Amino acid sequence: MKDLTNKKILFIICGGISAYKSLETIRLFRKNKAQIKTILTKNAKEFVTPLSVASLSQGKVYDDLFNLENETEMDHISLSRWSDAIVVAPATANSIAKISQGFSEDLASTVILASNKQVFLAPAMNVRMWEHQSTKKNLKILRNYGYKIIGPRIGEMACGEYGKGKMTEPLDIYNEVFNFLQQNSKYKKIKALVTAGPTNEYIDPVRFLTNKSSGKQGYEIAKSLYKRGFDTTLISGPTNLTIEEDIKLIKVETAEEMFKATQKNLPTDLAVFSAAVADFKINKKIDTKIKKKDSFIINLEKNVDILNYVSNHNSLRPKLVIGFAAETNDLDENAIIKLNSKNCDWIIANDISKKNKGFNSDFNEVTIHYKNSKKKKEKLSCKRKSEISEEIVDRIVSQFN
């Protein structure tokens, strides 16, 4: 059997007849040396007891969100950070609906919402519930968010009906989680560098040139890479965003500062340049605040081209260099020009002329242009930037595999 020594699994058991299978699943993880902590939902305790779960897991069993003892020992944020992966088995139709809508009404849903780790869902429900449009919609949302769905199987239900909805067998759940954790261990050796946000190019001590980039797409890419196990560094221009403490964050303001920070963090295996770096800067910054009565002329000069420098570096060029192209017109044409002129491997192009996607929005629609691939381009339809980042990182993982 495959060994999970030093791996930490948070197991969430929801209320369903398949909850009894969770005991065997937990036993299998423990047998192969994984550390286990368990959350039982209120309905789950109608099917399995905290004592039986504790006996098999040899770890703490949590249930009530507002239990003072639990919160003193380990709060719900720490519990989600403790784990290497979260397994929800069985994942009932009700729990899937709550998770997809972002509810946090109990400990299980709160931990999942607060988690920055991979979540696996093993659905179990009646075949009609599985086939219902609302369930299909909820699962689609969760897949787009990056959740992994294991099963279900086709077979005879406890209610006597036959069809798809039976929870996946414990060994199959174990193998799915094991394979993910093994990949993550491999990616920990792969260094990833991401740039995000705008840059500010000062005219005088209080005024500067900038753009409307929020940095959201770059931050989400960094989060997705970290979740997959990459050793991730994020170099960020001025934003109001936050990032996980385990991701190395370097804050900069100007293009020159971003360039120097990038140089210091080379070599790296992967570089994603999503920052909207200002193309121009002031030729000579004025040292004192310009007054209204003063007349002045701004002279601009080209800024440092970070993407071009890294992608054409002889010895420090990453294995995979990805640039972004924010365009208002001729999207594909301009992206291809940039792909070739900058010598990068991929260009991810997005149209920033629409108010509801791109710059300063939670949504994006992008086209990936590939330089050395049979597939020359691929469009990712409009969705949340967190979902776009998962799709981009899926393709990065495939490239490194």
| Domain 188-400, CATH homologous superfamily name and number | CoaB-like (3.40.50.10300)
> Using N-to-C axis directions, what is the helix angle for 385-400 and 170-187, rounded to 10°?
80
- Our CA angle for 149, 150, 155, nearest 5°, is 125
pLDDT per residue as tens digits for the range 285-326: 888 888 887 777 888 999 999 999 999 998 899 999 999 999
Which CATH number describes the domain made up of 8-186?
Answer: 3.40.50.1950
Average pLDDT over residues 320-333: 93
Q: What value does the mean pLDDT take over residues 35-41?
A: 93
pLDDT of residue 308: 95
Cis peptide before 123 (omega within 30 of 0): no
Domain boundaries, the chain: 8-186, 188-400
8 Å CB contact between 95 and 104: no
Q: What is the pLDDT of residue 70?
A: 57
% of the chain beyond a pLDDT of 70: 96
Q: How confident is the model at residue 65 (pLDDT cuts 50, 70, 90)?
A: low
pLDDT higher for 76 or 270?
270
Place of tokens 């990616």: 187
SS3 labels along the chain: CCCCCCCEEEEEECCCCCHHHHHHHHHHHHHCCCEEEEEECCCHHHCCCHHHHHHHHCCCEECCCCCHHHHHHCCHHHHHHHCCEEEEEEECHHHHHHHHCCCCCCHHHHHHHHCCCEEEEEECCCHHHHHCHHHHHHHHHHHHHCCEECCCEEEECCCCCEEEEECCCHHHHHHHHHHHHHHHHHHCCCEEEEEECECCEECCCCCEECCCCCCHHHHHHHHHHHHCCCEEEEEECCCCCCCCCCCEEEECCCHHHHHHHHHHCCCCCEEEECCECCCEEECCCCCCCCCCCCCCCCCEEECCCHHHHHHCCCCCCCCEEEEEEEECCCHHHHHHHHHHHCCCCEEEEEECCCCCCCCCCCEEEEEEEECCCCCCEEEEEEEEHHHHHHHHHHHHHHHHC
Q: Do domains 8-186 and 188-400 have the same CATH topology?
A: yes
* 359-378: pLDDT as tens digits: 878 899 999 999 987 888 99
CA 98 – CA 148 distance, rounded (Å): 16
Segment 251-277 mean pLDDT: 96
Provide the pLDDT for residue 69. 60
**pLDDT confidence band for 182 (50 / 70 / 90):** confident
Tell me the average pLDDT across 85-112: 91
What positions carry a catalytic annotation? 159
Which two three-digit tokens encode residue 258?
A: 């971003």
